[in-house]
Amino acid sequence: MQAVFTNILVALDGSKVSQRALIEAVDLAGLMNAKLQAIYVMEIVTSALNPLDQSETMDNTLEMYRLLESEGKDVLEKAQKYCADKGITVTSYLKQGDAGTEIITLSEQEKCDLIIVASHGKSGFDRLILGSVSSFVVKNNKVTTLVVR
């Protein structure tokens, strides 16, 4: 079988749906002997609720950054282990910024020809956010996108 895709990017967020996206990415990478990249994007939202107390806002933002960074590293480490167990090499990226933009930017930088994203995130508000991320990626990238449910 001739490979249709040679360089796959999978977006992860720690949700069950993104775990299914990883499984699909690993299966396709193995089947097509493709390179595999994984990305976790930390989206930090700062609050303007109390503009007079900037020190509290900075403390909260720093704490949020630390939590997201820890979660991202954990998600990527688990992905590395899963890939290794399946005999697949994966390159991981921990990024900060707008998730959709970071996914597309990395895809372009790494010359990926397939992006795999989850249809939605972890729960409630996350579902709304990641749903909008998957929609953004589908609408704004130049390569094939697989949305996993």
pLDDT along the chain (149 residues), means of 10: 86 95 98 97 66 62 89 98 98 96 98 94 49 90 95
For residue 44, the model assigns a pLDDT of 73
Domains and CATH numbers, the chain: 7-148 (3.40.50.620)
Q: From CA 115, how far away is CA 83, in angstroms rounded? A: 17
β-partners of residue 144 are 114
Q: Which of 133, 128, 127 minimizes the C-alpha distance to 11?
A: 133
β-partners of residue 109 are none
For residue 75, the model assigns a pLDDT of 98
- Give this prediction's pTM: 0.86
For residue 30, the model assigns a pLDDT of 97
Q: Which of 10, 4, 6 minimizes the C-alpha distance to 111?
A: 6
Q: From CA 46, how far away is CA 59, in angstroms rounded? A: 11
Q: How would you write 17-50 as a 3-class SS string?
A: HHHHHHHHHHHHHHHHCCEEEEEEEECCCCCCCC
Check: CB of residue 145 under 8 Å from CB of residue 138.
yes
Burial class of residue 109, CB neighbours in 10 A (0-12, 13-18, 19+):
exposed
For residue 131, the model assigns a pLDDT of 63
